[in-house]
Structure formats: structure tokens, C-alpha cells
Structure 1
Amino acid sequence: MDVKEYLLTSSQHSQQFSACLWDYNTLNVMKLYRNGGTISSNCLEMIGDEYILTGEVAKPLLHVWLLNNQDVSKNVRLILPEPATCLAVCPKQVYLAVGMTCKLYIWHISSGKLLSVQQKNYQPITCIKFSSDGAFVLVGGQDGMLVVYNLCDLIALSNNYLAQTDIGQVEPVYVKNDHSLPITNLHVGSFGKKSRLATVSTDQTCRLYNLLTGENLLTLVFDEPLTSVVFDACCWQLYVGCASGIMRAFNLQQPPRTVTHHITKKSSLTFEGHTKKVTCLALSLCNTVLASGSDDNFVFTWDIKSRQILKKIEHKAAITNIKFVMSFENFFADVMKPKTVLSSLERNTDFSNDFKISQIQLQDIELSDDENSIEKEKERDKIREENTRLRVINKQLYNAALEIRKKYSNNLRE
């Protein structure tokens, strides 16, 4: 049975809508999301099957829509210190990563607590991704630097009760400075720590890495600047968007013998149709349809096998984001009661005693009618204390496992 999918798009023209949900097979508009301003590139995400989250161009605001509501939610005010240049939500919808100029911010979504502020890049951050298992946070910047963090280090409890200036910066798992010009886009596979990672840059190169070790597996050199990248779930076919409007496909099942390989128009499969720069790419869940957005105001859907255009979706301005999404029932629900609770985002990393472990956990406590507010507060305090104790234990176990792994690896090498 085929899985029903829709296409979520945004453009630089926001008078009619900020984001639009399309049935890309029939070109029917399924839903319009309004009053969120113009959405920045790499600033369109979904929080599970309940919310759409976006960042507005040149304004320090994040906007949230319930899937079934075309108007911005007014119950939550997500105000940022600076305008967001990119954002990402972890696969389990627990943490939010936002890039603002050169800084990386990590928030706990349910409580709104700011967990970490990092500044490793020297120039503004252009793209952020979580690995499919949520273990890593990947950051690309205009300085050509790729920084990979361990999420556990960013949200570690030992850091949470000190000011960020006191604890210093978290050391990344690794930093790559292979690109000589800005990283314009990155994509990570769906196999957790065993995934591959691809980056593209205006220096005309696409680099493929081992996510866990950072080893450079392949460098593809093109004859024009690259603007976007995506590969299929199996990491067999790599697709890159170019500044000229052409898209190139490269077969990773038959890699070249050398690490560095030069690509020309004659030596690669091309998707030709756009007349201006390709700004974003997306693959359907079944990996049979490729969607591309461009500065020529069009979103094209392509049949991958034949490389033919299936549909053309015209917008009134350059495309900023495209995303394939599942046809969730909540898109068309008359009444929707989200399970995930969103809180206003805090501005500092100082933690006080009123830290909310999870809004959902607190709501799930069932107390009898005869208990007063003091007893309820005691029950919540017990949950906070138990959660804090478990987090400390988990952090200690994680550090011990790392030490054992290092020792075991060293013994094997000897």
C-alpha cells in the first residue's frame, strides 16, 4: 500500500501564506498557514504530527501553527535573542537547535529551558541537522566549517546548573575545515551513528563523510557552485543542486577509486528545468520522487528514474523551503488536543529550582479530588528530584561506557 504524502513549501512572498501544504500529485492546496511572515531558508520544521515551526526572516521570532489551524498559535511566544538563520528539531521532538549568527542555541521544547549556547563558528551558521537517532548535532557555517557535537554533551546535567560563561564551551566530536567557501547545505542519512554525511559549498565541492568518525570518504569536484544536497535512504544516489539551476545525480554504489573525483556534465546524470539557482531539495519517503525549489519561483517534482518533470508548482517569489510530510490526520482534524506542550523560550542558561522536567509528565499525574495544592506540589518535587537523580546516573554511565570503549579500542590496536 502506498504511503500518502504531501509537500510543504514556503517562499519569499508571504502576503497570501507563509507556508502551504500541497497534494503534489493533483496540485490541490490542502492547507494554508498564514500570518507568520517570510520564512527563512532552513527554518521550516515539524514537531511530530502536531505543530509546524518556522523562523521569520530578519525578526527574532519563531512561529508555531497547529496542523489543523491556518493561523499562528497565540498561546506561545517564542522570542529569540536574534533572528534565526536556521533551525532543527530532534527526531524525538524533545530538543530544539537554532542557529543565530555564529551561535548555536539548544532549548528543551516542553519547558523552554535554554540548555546550551555554543560558538565554534567564526561566521554565521547556515544549516543545522540532527542525526536520525538524535545522538549528534551537525552545524555548517559561512566560514566553510563543519562542526559535529554530541547532543549528550550539550545537554549534560553537569552543565545545567552553572552559567555558560563559567563552564566554557563544549568540545565538539570533530571539526572539519575542508571547504574553502561557505557551506550552503548538508544532509545526513537515516542509519544513526553508521550514517553518511554530505556537505556542499560554493567552492564547487560536495564532500561525503563518515558521521561517527568524520573521515572524508569522497570529494566530488563540480564545475559550478553547489547550493543544496540530498541522498536517498540507502545512500545509493546523491543529488546536488547547482547555482545554474541544473541538478546532478551521482551513483554512490560505484564510487571512484580515488577520494577526489571531478564531475562534468557529461559524466553525471542531470535534471534540467529550472532557470535560476536551486535553493532546496527533498526526497519522498519512498525515494521515487525528487522535489526541487528554485529562485525562479517554481517547485518541480521529478520522476527519478526518467528524470522527467511530473508537476510544476508556481509561487510568487523565490522558494525558501520544501519538505515532504506524511498525511497526518491532524491536518484535517476539527478539534485537536496536542500531547506536546510548548513553552516560551528562556534567554539564559541559569537553572533554578523551578525547572520543569516535562510538561507532559506533570499533566499525567492523577491526584484525588481531596488533595490540596501543597500535596500536589510535594508530588511534583518528588518527580523533579527523581528525574535529577536519574539524569546524573545516566550521565555517569555514559561517561563510563565511553572510557571502556576507548580502553577496549586501544587494546585491540596494540
Structure 2
Amino acid sequence: MEVVVTSECSGQLWNTCIWEPLTGTTLRTFKGGISGSQSLNIVGGDYLLSSLKDKPIIQVWALNRQDQITTKMIMPGIIQVLVMSPCNNFCVGALSEQLLVWQVSTGKLVASLRRHYQNVSDVKFTADSSRFISAGAEGLVLLWSLDTVLHTKECEPDSIWSDHSLPVTGLHVTKSLIQPLVFSVSLDQTCKIRDLNTGKTLFNIQFNGPLRSVVVDHSEESCYVGSHEGKIYRLDLLDPPRSVEQMVDESASRKMFVGHEKAVTCLSVSTGGCHLLSGSDDGSARVWDIASGQCVRILAHRGPLTNAFFAPRYKHLETDKFHPRIIINTFEKKRHDGQLLSAENELNAQVLISCPPLMESLDSSQGAEALSLSGSNASGGHQVSDQVTQNEMGRLKLINRQLYAFAVDKIFNEDAAITTKKRK
């Protein structure tokens, strides 16, 4: 089962709302400001994370506590785009033309990238979290390696695609790990499909109007493109054109979803591939049946949609008990010189371990000190961590020797018993 997560510009009723997609029932609301476009994220099924549209603030809600803001983070400027990596370890935010990369568990600002010349419009991660793509209003699409970003002080993108002539308004990266594809749409009325590994442009699809959003279903059979006029086009990826250049024929009405009166800014496909979700500047989110092309539910809002996507029905939406698997520390506003993820300096990163029962014999004070490592106590943090690690390794070695001795004794005793029986 899935739910629909939306946010809109008015902020009169709430910041974010979670809906039942087919009935239109409101499941949960989260108040406090207005979330910016492409800045709403669910972190590990535990938290809701978003940056405000008109204030330099990032807000965090626990999914089981509606109307209660858990954390507010003050930023050096308004974050236009905010995206979490699929592994939930890193977060990328766009501050004008600058890209900021944070480590979620520590809040450390591990990288600051300046390669765009105008405001960043969208950022997307690959499925394995190893790379991310950024697009800007100047028409550039940049490919970044996360490993290079973390270990290089002056980092350059792995690839630069500059074949869009107007601002890029939407990105999508397929989840394939073998041959991921990058879809980008722009106000120049084109949708370009590229091979992420080679950087080669596979298709350049021309439309009759400016484009605002793009998404591909999970089976990678169809691509959906939202236009500035409110139309949603469907492209069949199983029957691609023979040439790189293609013009979309609007006469094929079965390949269009018509109903929105203004630009379609958000698109999402359900996991099962049966429903399409669209959010528009006309103040409505629509759930479409893909097979028939009919709108099955309209979710009314009081302002233009800024975010709309399908999400799993996480357990924290059904219970008041909160047992998070992820820790989010306050994001830093400035990056300290020399603090790069490397073998010599690991930023005192918090390593979250699921402790087995054998760990219960640890002294409670040592355990508390081990979990309190952060940048603020870096002078003594390594000493405490080393001491705890040595003690734990010694204890595990002792347990390993005892297990080995027990196994040897058991094997020899069984052999002796078998030999005795044979003699009798």
C-alpha cells in the first residue's frame, strides 16, 4: 500500500499533507511554513525533511507526530532544492548556484560545489547513491561522483552536458544499476535521454511547448512528461524511434493525460505502475489510472503544488510509538578547512550499530561516551573511541577462543563416544 505526499504554496492549512490516494482521505498533516519546490523528502521512513520556500530554514518532523516540528536548522540562505541519497547517509542542497553536501549522521558540511552559473533547479541521485546529477537555469546538466566530492577539495563534475538552450526544469534517473538513463526536460521544449555511463545522448524528443517535469515508471517501460500548458505526454520506451531526433505527435490522444489547466510541475508513478500522480500550478493533484488514461481522484489544494509523490505506507504513519533507525544531526552552515572524508580524518562520523545481546556487558558510561562522538568534542573523541574499540576487540577475542574450545571438545567427545560404541 502507498500514500500520496503533497505540499503547496499557500500554507493556509498545512505545510505537508499525506493522503490516501484512491479515497482522498487525509491521513496526516504537518504544519509550519511552506516547503519549496523539489525540497520535500521522507528520510528512512522515520522523518519528513524539507526546506522552506521563503526562509533560510530546513525543518524536520517525526512521521508519527503531526503538527510538531522536531528540529529547525538555520541555513546561510534559502535552500531551493533539497534531496536525500537513497542510502540516507548524505543530503544535497542547492543554495542559488552552489551545491552543499552534508553527512546526515553528523551534520557535517563535507563539500561545497560551485560549477553552475545560475540557480540550481533540480538534483537527483542514482539508485546506488554513488553519483548525483544537478541541473541549472543556465541549461547545464552536471554529473558528480560522490566519492570524488567527499575526497577532493577542488572537485569538478565527471560530465557536463550543455545541449539545452533554456533552463532545465526537471530531471529523472532510472533505477537500473547496469545502464542507468538520465531524462532531462527544459523550457526549450525538448526532452533528452542520455546514457549515464557513457554520456551519449540516445534520444532528443521535441515537443510543441515548454516542459516542466518528467518521470519514468519503475519497470522503465514508459516516460511521462509534464508540459507548461497542463498536458501530460506518455512516451513508450519499449518502442523507441529509429532516429535520435523525434517530434511528438499530439494527434495520438491515447498517449496524453488531459485535465490540468496550468503547468504540471510534479510527476510520480506508483510502485505497481498502475497509477500516475501529477501536481500542477492550478492547485490540484490528480491520480490517474494509467491503463485507461482517466483521472480517478482529484486532491484539491489552495495554491500551486510544490511537491507531490507516492511513498510507501511506513509503519510510523500507523502508530504513535517512535523507534527511528536514522539519526539526523543539525546541518552545519560553514565548512571547516581540512575536514574531508579521508583515511586520516573521518569527520568523527557516528557509526550507528545495532547491538546484539553480547554488547550488554559493556560499561554504561563507556557506551554513552562512544555514542556522543561529534565535532564538538573531537579532541577526546578519538581516545575514547580507541579505548572502547580495544576493549571490545579483546572481549570478542576471548569469546571466540571459548567458542573454539567448546567446539573442539564437543567434536572430540562425540568421536570418543562413537569409538566406544563400536568397540562394544
Question: 2:48 corresponds to which residue?
Answer: 52
Match of 2:195 among 180, 191, 210: 210
Please give the per-residue CA displacement for 1:329-379, whole angstroms capped at 9, x wherever unaligned. Answer: 111222203121111111233256793311524999753257698899534
What residue identity is the alignment partner of 2:22? N
The answer on 1:13 being equivalent to 2:10 is yes
Question: 1:395 corresponds to which residue?
Answer: none
Match of 2:171 among 154, 169, 186: 186
What residue identity is the alignment partner of 1:44? L
What residue identity is the alignment partner of 1:93? N
The answer on 1:260 being equivalent to 2:245 is yes
The answer on 1:67 being equivalent to 2:67 is no
Percent identity (aligned): 29
Question: 1:198 corresponds to which residue?
Answer: 183
Aligned-residue CA RMSD in angstroms?
2.3
Q: Indicate the SS of the match to 1:286.
A: coil
* CA drift at 1:19: 0.4
What residue identity is the alignment partner of 1:152? D
The answer on 1:358 being equivalent to 2:347 is no
Q: Indicate the SS of the match to 2:286.
A: strand
Spell out the pairing of 1:317-336 with structure 2 (5 A cutoff): 317-336=303-322
What residue identity is the alignment partner of 1:358? Q
Q: Rate the CA distance shift 1:371–1:233 in 2: closer, same or farther, 3 A.
A: closer
Match of 1:235 among 220, 224, 229: 220
Question: 1:87 corresponds to which residue?
Answer: 82
Spell out the pairing of 1:106-185 with structure 2 (5 A cutoff): 106-156=101-151, 159=152, 167-168=153-154, 170-185=155-170
Question: 1:380 corresponds to which residue?
Answer: 385
Q: Indicate the SS of the match to 1:155.
A: helix
Question: 2:405 corresponds to which residue?
Answer: none
Do the aligned partners of 1:9 and 1:21 also contact (CA within 8 Å) in 2?
yes
Do the aligned partners of 1:63 and 1:72 also contact (CA within 8 Å) in 2?
no
* CA drift at 1:235: 1.9
Q: Indicate the SS of the match to 2:260.
A: coil
Separation in 2, partners of 1:203, 1:370: 61
Q: Rate the CA distance shift 1:43–1:383 in 2: closer, same or farther, 3 A.
A: farther
Do the aligned partners of 1:143 and 1:181 also contact (CA within 8 Å) in 2?
yes
Separation in 1, partners of 2:10, 2:287: 21
Q: Rate the CA distance shift 1:188–1:30 in 2: closer, same or farther, 3 A.
A: same
Q: Rate the CA distance shift 1:42–1:370 in 2: closer, same or farther, 3 A.
A: closer
* CA drift at 1:234: 2.5
Question: 2:276 corresponds to which residue?
Answer: 290
Do the aligned partners of 1:189 and 1:197 also contact (CA within 8 Å) in 2?
yes
Q: Indicate the SS of the match to 1:152.
A: helix
What residue identity is the alignment partner of 2:6? T
Please give the per-residue CA displacement for 1:260-282, whole angstroms capped at 9, x wherever unaligned. Answer: 10113115611100111111111
Do the aligned partners of 1:362 and 1:380 also contact (CA within 8 Å) in 2?
no
Q: Rate the CA distance shift 1:311–1:104 in 2: closer, same or farther, 3 A.
A: same
Separation in 2, partners of 1:42, 1:106: 16
Q: Rate the CA distance shift 1:107–1:382 in 2: closer, same or farther, 3 A.
A: farther
* CA drift at 1:193: 5.0
Separation in 2, partners of 1:192, 1:123: 31
Separation in 2, partners of 1:371, 1:219: 59
Q: Indicate the SS of the match to 2:163.
A: coil
* CA drift at 1:318: 0.8
Q: Rate the CA distance shift 1:62–1:82 in 2: closer, same or farther, 3 A.
A: same
Do the aligned partners of 2:5 and 2:16 also contact (CA within 8 Å) in 1?
yes
TM-score, normalised via structure 1 length: 0.84
Give the number of equivalent residue pairs: 370
Separation in 2, partners of 1:191, 1:370: 46
